[in-house]
Amino acid sequence: MLKCVVIDDESLAREVLEGYLGRLDFVESLRQFGNAREALTYLENNDADVLFLDIEMPGMNGIDFLKSLTQPPITVFTTAYRDYAFEGFELGVIDFLLKPIAYPRFLQAIEKIRDFLSLKEQNTKLENSSETSSDSSKDDSVFVKSGVQRIKLNFSYVTYIQGLKDYAIIHTSSGKIVIKGSIKAMHDIFPESRFIRVHKSFIVAISRVTRIERNRLILTDNQQIPLGRNYKEEVEKALLNQGK
Same domain (yes/no): 111, 132: no
Predicted local distance difference test score (pLDDT) of residue 15: 96
Least confident of 12-21, 49-58, 116-125, 183-192: 116-125
Mean pLDDT score, 184-190: 89
To the nearest whole percent, how much of the chain has pLDDT over 90? 56
Same domain (yes/no): 76, 106: yes
Is there a contact between 77 and 53 (Cβ–Cβ < 8 Å)?
Answer: yes
Distance from the Cα of residue 96 to its chain's centroid: 9
How far is 11 from 13, CA to CA, in rounded Å? 5
Give this prediction's pTM: 0.79
CATH number assigned to the domain comprising residue 215? 2.40.50.1020
Q: How confident is the model at residue 126 (pLDDT cuts 50, 70, 90)?
A: confident
More confident residue, 147 or 156: 156
Same domain (yes/no): 113, 139: no
**Which of 105, 120, 135 is where one domain is finished?**
120
Reply yes or no on whether the pLDDT at 131 is more than 60: no
Is there a contact between 81 and 56 (Cβ–Cβ < 8 Å)?
Answer: yes
Same domain (yes/no): 205, 235: yes
Least confident of 44-48, 86-90, 132-136, 224-228: 132-136
Same domain (yes/no): 140, 30: no
Predicted local distance difference test score (pLDDT) of residue 123: 73
Reply yes or no on whether the pLDDT at 6 is more than 70: yes
* 7 exposure class (CB count in 10 Å sphere: 0-12, 13-18, 19+): buried
**Which of 94, 120, 146 is where one domain is finished?**
120
Same domain (yes/no): 48, 105: yes
Q: How many CA atoms lie within 13 A of 138 on its CB side?
A: 2
Predicted local distance difference test score (pLDDT) of residue 84: 67
Least confident of 145-154, 200-209, 217-226: 145-154
Predicted local distance difference test score (pLDDT) of residue 101: 96
Reply yes or no on whether the pLDDT at 124 is more than 50: yes
Range of the domain at 235: 124-241
pLDDT digit string (tens) for 50-104? 999 999 999 899 999 999 998 899 999 998 877 666 667 778 889 989 999 999 9
Same domain (yes/no): 153, 51: no
How far is 164 from 167, CA to CA, in rounded Å? 5
CATH number assigned to the domain comprising residue 88? 3.40.50.2300
Reply yes or no on whether the pLDDT at 130 is more than 60: no
Looking at beta carbons, which pairs linking 107-113 to residues 24 or more positions away fall under 8 Å?
A: 109/76, 110/2, 110/24, 110/27, 113/2, 113/50, 113/74, 113/76
**Which of 99, 120, 141 is where one domain is finished?**
120
Q: How many domains does the chain have?
A: 2
Could you tell me which of 60, 54, 64 has the C-alpha nearest to residue 99? 54
54: how many CB neighbours lie within 10 A of its CB? Answer: 24
Predicted local distance difference test score (pLDDT) of residue 147: 67
